[in-house]
A and B are shown apart, each in its own frame.
Chain A
């Protein structure tokens, strides 16, 4: 089961730690405070989701992590290095896939990757060999010699990911990597992301598609109005009631069993052939399931109606708007 985490208790000063350590980072543009106070830790070998509403400062935070923007306050360490004092050390270990898809329109896919590799100080032969590897990795071999302007959005997305991977970085920042991808490509992306994590890389993925993140992320950082949610807020959100989806072959029997289990009839919502019931946390859910099975109801589905991240997203968004 996925756990939402904001860990500040890890040993962040340990240079061997690697990963990403962000402490109280703030950045404003004139009078607009894009990021006010962001803190989180991303551990090597894990995928961290960065979620938040539009305009919450996700991209600004990503740009600071990508060593492009200087924070006004706070500190960032990428793979143990400071992006603003040891920029080159960070850049050689960092891959960034931006949310804006740009490519050199007249250059072929293969040459795009070769040039990207050469920008990381690889010589021509090494760069060409690495470009060939990355082409296979992101499944663009068939289009290798086409100019990038003929690529579809999904193909450009894969090229952008390939460019971020060209120097085999230990830290990867993916800004909206799944947008514009068809379901098959999304599944491939998920497999690739998990594989990269299993190789020990640190990944931060920002996305609006929360169900996507649910499937690939080990943890999440919630950003709202430029502030990362505190551990307490996330714990609170986990404890709040959320709807569970229950399906049984006999809906009437299910409803009767639920009412017998102490749930008010008015609290049971019907969604086509399924019933939705609000439950406080996982313990309550397990308890209810045991009781339903004990009552002899043939259950075929018993799951949260919204993903963990979506629940946290909606819960924290509504909390802060109060």
Chain B
């Protein structure tokens, strides 16, 4: 074992023992398992009412995954957001820094510990995921990719927390900022998308003509003049990039979609994916809503199927996930630079020990 890894191992073991050996931690896990159990049971009953082939098990699976992501991102900041400045406050950071443990080992060890702690929630949810995956006869790719992306996202939150705890002096402040970053990614991206789309409206013209008189077979014999109708339409297509950074969207977009017999999405991931992909398609600025042609039955255009929408739009999860990983890496690197000893610069009002 290389010296770097064994040093990381010492920090990891120390951190995990301090975290995991507390009663409150097990209570938290128990509450979490109880919640997932309730959600799984209720969803199984609710979704089986729709009479789909798998009795809604795919829906249960995707909901439980989202639930783990939600609770994981709610708990991880509290577990990681004071990793470094909390130790400094407790007077245990400097005594570690004077040993042969390097700053890199310290930060990597603390990050891994925060990540593993968050992954414990995923592990605790496993029985329910296995049940839903078996009942829904999910594809292996859906299971593997959703779990890997979920694990990565929990790691990103853990890294953001550890990074901010190294960059900021006060533990309370860094925990709150970690929560704000998680909120910005989960909710802020949706707000930015909605407000951005609504603010940048563009005018569109809709042309329509109607039949005035119809013959006995229902075909029009005379048509109205085409009427033009101007209106404002939001430009969501300009802001779909904001959604790409949303962890829920990344998760949904990464999982290969499963269609039902009508080419509609089979689970929650699919609906999220479809909704966010539709935002990529710009609204036509000139289009005809209804065209009356003498002697022809009025035709309503079919709206495009989920399959055609998804196949014609760009996958955004890779960009979103890469952005998250870069953000997490940058914050960890920043924490490293700030925590490095012998320290050349100290943040205002901070002490080394």
Chain A residues packing against B (C-beta within 8 Å)? 29-30, 63-64, 66-70, 83-84, 87-88, 91-92, 94, 96, 98, 100-107, 111, 115-116, 118-121, 160, 163, 167
Chain B positions 95-150 with a Cβ under 8 Å from a chain A Cβ? 95-101
Interface residue? B314 (CB, 8 A): no
- B23 → chain A, closest Cβ, in Å? 11
A115 touches B348 (CB 8 A): no
- A51 → chain B, closest Cβ, in Å? 20
- A250 → chain B, closest Cβ, in Å? 55
A107-B14, A107-B18, A121-B3 given; A163·B95 CB < 8 A: yes
Residue of B nearest to A173 (CB): B98
Contacts of A163 in B (CB 8 A): 95
A94 touches B343 (CB 8 A): no
Interface residue? B320 (CB, 8 A): no
Partner of A119, one of B21, B96, B342: B96
Interface residue? B10 (CB, 8 A): yes
Q: List 30 A-B contacts (CB under 8 A).
A: A64-B342, A66-B94, A67-B341, A69-B342, A69-B346, A69-B352, A70-B343, A70-B344, A83-B342, A87-B341, A91-B98, A96-B95, A98-B91, A98-B353, A100-B353, A102-B91, A102-B92, A104-B92, A105-B18, A105-B90, A106-B18, A106-B21, A107-B14, A107-B17, A107-B18, A115-B10, A116-B99, A119-B96, A121-B7, A163-B95
Chain B residues packing against A (C-beta within 8 Å)? 3, 6-7, 10, 13-14, 17-18, 21-22, 87, 90-101, 341-344, 346, 348, 352-353
Residue of A nearest to B350 (CB): A29
Contacts of A160 in B (CB 8 A): 95
- A96 → chain B, closest Cβ, in Å? 5
A107-B17, A119-B10 given; A102·B95 CB < 8 A: yes
Cα A100 to Cα B90 in complex, Å, equals 9
A63-B352, A100-B353 given; A120·B342 CB < 8 A: no
Contacts of B21 in A (CB 8 A): 106
Most chain A CB neighbours (cut-off 10 Å) among B7, B96, B100: B100
Q: How many A-B residue pairs have CB under 8 A?
A: 88
A118 touches B95 (CB 8 A): no
Residue of A nearest to B345 (CB): A70
Contacts of B3 in A (CB 8 A): 121
The prevalent SS among residues of A at the interface is loop
Residue of B nearest to A83 (CB): B342
Contacts of B344 in A (CB 8 A): 70
Query: What 6 new A-B contacts, CB under 8 Å, besides A64-B342, A106-B21?
Result: A63-B353, A68-B94, A68-B98, A105-B18, A107-B17, A119-B10
B99 touches A98 (CB 8 A): no
Contacts of B17 in A (CB 8 A): 106-107, 111
Cα A248 to Cα B143 in complex, Å, equals 94
Cα A83 to Cα B343 in complex, Å, equals 11
- A183 → chain B, closest Cβ, in Å? 26
- A273 → chain B, closest Cβ, in Å? 46
Contacts of A69 in B (CB 8 A): 341-343, 346, 352
Cα A91 to Cα B97 in complex, Å, equals 9
Cα A104 to Cα B18 in complex, Å, equals 8
